[in-house]
Amino acid sequence: MDIQTILSKPFENGVLDFFLGFMFAMSIYHLLLYIRNGDKSFLFYGLYTFFVFCSNIIQLRQGFLFELTLSIKPELDALNEYVNEIYYSLYFLFAFTFLDIQKEFPRWDKYIINIIYILLIGCSVLYLFYLITDIRVIMVEAYYYFVVVISVLGILSYIPIFRSSHSLKMYIIIGSMIMFICSVVSIIEFIRLKSIDLDYQGAFFILFSGLGIETLLFAVALGQKQRLILEDKNKAQQLLILQLKENENLKISIQKQLEGEIRLLSEQVELDKLDKLKSIYDKQISDLHLSSLRSQMNPHFLFNSLNSIKLYIIENEKEQAVYYLNKFSKLVRKILSASRAQTLSLKEEIETMELYTQIENIRFQNEIDIIFDISPKVDRAKIQLPSLILQPFYENAIWHGLSKKTGYKRLLTTIRQPDDIYLQITIEDNGIGRKQANIHKGQRVARQESVGLKLTNDRLELFCRNKSYPYDLEIEDLTDKHDNPLGTRIKLSYPLV
């Protein structure tokens, strides 16, 4: 088979069959990757290549696929415009999702993606009209208008894409430009061949070449993105391990130093001096536990909170920005104050947690219904708690329970004092539950939560050492009668005497 035959007869010499097989394989591969890692850019790309496959299957003139689809060829022909409209739209969804345009240019993303959805709805309505009336001419004419609109959107989309700081944007730019050039050349060649009554297959070879090169570039880009994600995860895991080792080494060092001082002084000083030294020891260990607890808090909390407030400013929602900025400043002051105190009043602890949950709720567009139900019988000013002792419970509830939940989200805090002995604090969310959270987040986050819970238990045990009654901490997984998760409930019984 010579080069001229390959270039001029792609429908008959196997080039089209190879192209369709390649597109179908890329579609299945990237859809499986989406199922594995949940990244929507793999989903949109897998669907894009699948609809490219469907769009070109009608060009077959021989072979297994031709025989297989021969009986439904009229239906495939009727679907052609609609399938083209779908894969053009998926192209935009893939590019914008892959480059995270929504984060850098939320307005561009909002306007262009909304127009894409409107076009898809309109095309779907026209296709349903064709199915009902069997009048295809309207759908065909509308397709030409669709091509004009989608071309304008494509040109406009280069503005945020070129301005994007994403390290992989050149794959999208080069791939789309190659596809655009091949499409234009293919159309010109198609018109030329038709004008002189020659077979137009050669024009499609140019189009297939452009699609194939573009597909390879996008596949490489997705592979690079997956590599970057894995590198970030590995770095975060290494940093966490180093942080935990440093905390543990610091704890061991302080313990050894203080234990040595106790042994030396136990032979030289009186019992009251020994007791005083032990109290200093307990205080330093307590400080260490509090420091360790704070080191487990999300290190990006301050950065992300400021980003959320910055988004309000970008969106010209200045009143909201000022409102949350004041709350954020107040929260920072309270955290700094709490870091210097061993205990806080219940009133101060609740005020700090209310600010913390409100700031975190900005990240979820205030979707979480945050409720604090405190009995009027509880003396908030008098009761003392270990400072920031409740913060890990709220962090776990929001990020590992509610962040992955769809629909109504609730975070309920109930505080009661049934008697003079115990204060009962219940923190309940209607999230996805611990089991599903571990599946979503992986073993590294599960270990981090376990460390945070152990530190909280250690602090409670230390603070309750001189109490007449022990504390009790229970974590309950809420389920319905079919054992489906309904959320998590944390019950803390804190002794007052």
- H, E, C per residue of the chain: CCHHHHHHCCCCCCHHHHHHHHHHHHHHHHHHHHHHHCCHHHHHHHHHHHHHHHHHHHHCCCCHHHHHHHHHHHHHHHHHHHHHHHHHHHHHHHHHHHCCHHHHCHHHHHHHHHHHHHHHHHHHHHHHHHHHHCCCHHHHHHHHHHHHHHHHHHHHHHHHHHHCCCCCHHHHHHHHHHHHHHHHHHHHHHHHHHHCCCCCHHHHHHHHHHHHHHHHHHHHHHHHHHHHHHHHHHHHHHHHHHHHHHHHHHHHHHHHHHHHHHHHHHCCCCHHHHHHHHHHHHHHHHHHHHHHHHHHCCCCHHHHHHHHHHHHHHCCCHHHHHHHHHHHHHHHHHHHHHHCCCEEEHHHHHHHHHHHHHHHHHCCCCCEEEEEEECCCCCCCCCEEECCCCHHHHHHHHHHHHCCCCCCEEEEEEEECCCCCEEEEEEEECCCHHHHHHHHHCHHHHHHHHHHHHHHHHHHHHHCCCCCCCCEEEEEEEECCCCCEEEEEEEEEEECC
Tell whether 285 is covered by a domain.
no
Mean pLDDT value across residues 273-293: 54
Domain that holds residue 379: 300-495
Q: Which amino acid is located at 461 in the chain?
A: E
How many folded domains does the chain comprise?
Answer: 2
Domain-ending residue, one of 205, 232, 259: 232
Q: Closest by alpha carbon to 109, among 90, 88, 91, 95?
A: 95
Same domain, 111 and 28: yes
Tell whether 258 is covered by a domain.
no
Same domain, 73 and 211: yes
Q: Which of 257-261, 279-283, 482-486 has the lowest mean pLDDT?
A: 279-283
Q: What is the per-residue pLDDT across 16-56, written as a single tens digit (0 to 9) for each?
A: 888 888 889 999 989 998 998 888 999 999 999 999 888 88
Q: What is the per-residue pLDDT across 399-453, written as a single tens digit (0 to 9) for each?
A: 888 988 989 999 999 999 999 999 999 999 999 988 888 876 654 444 555 556 7
Same domain, 28 and 128: yes
Q: Closest by alpha carbon to 157, among 213, 220, 93, 215?
A: 93
Contact of 165 with 104, CB cutoff 8 Å: yes
Domain-ending residue, one of 210, 232, 254: 232
Same domain, 449 and 307: yes
Same domain, 316 and 226: no
Neighbour tally for 454: CB within 10 Å = 12
Question: What pLDDT, on the 0 to 100 scale, is given for residue 139?
Answer: 84
Q: Report the CATH number at residue 428.
A: 3.30.565.10
Same domain, 208 and 334: no
Whole-number Å distance between alpha carbons of 278 and 259 = 9
- pTM beyond cutoff 0.75: no
Question: What pLDDT, on the 0 to 100 scale, is given for residue 271?
Answer: 61
Domain-ending residue, one of 232, 249, 266: 232
Whole-number Å distance between alpha carbons of 402 and 409 = 6
Tell whether 293 is covered by a domain.
no
Same domain, 134 and 228: yes
Same domain, 110 and 227: yes
Tell whether 294 is covered by a domain.
no
Tell whether 192 is covered by a domain.
yes
- Residue 316: what are its φ and ψ, rounded to 5°? 60, 25
Tell whether 239 is covered by a domain.
no
Same domain, 222 and 360: no
Same domain, 228 and 372: no
Q: Rounded to whole angstroms, what are the CA distances from 48 to 24, 94, 172?
A: 10, 8, 14
Tell whether 241 is covered by a domain.
no
Same domain, 225 and 309: no
Cα torsion angle, 33, 39, 43, 48, sign: negative
User: Please, which residues bridge with residue 477 across strands?
Assistant: 488
Tell whether 289 is covered by a domain.
no
For 200, how many CA atoms within 13 A lie in the half-sphere containing its CB? 16
Q: pLDDT category, 183, cuts 50, 70, 90?
A: confident
Same domain, 225 and 305: no
Percentage of residues in the chain having pLDDT higher than 90: 31
Q: Which segment, 163-167, 207-211, 299-303, is predicted with the most confidence on average? A: 163-167
Q: Closest by alpha carbon to 218, among 23, 14, 54?
A: 23
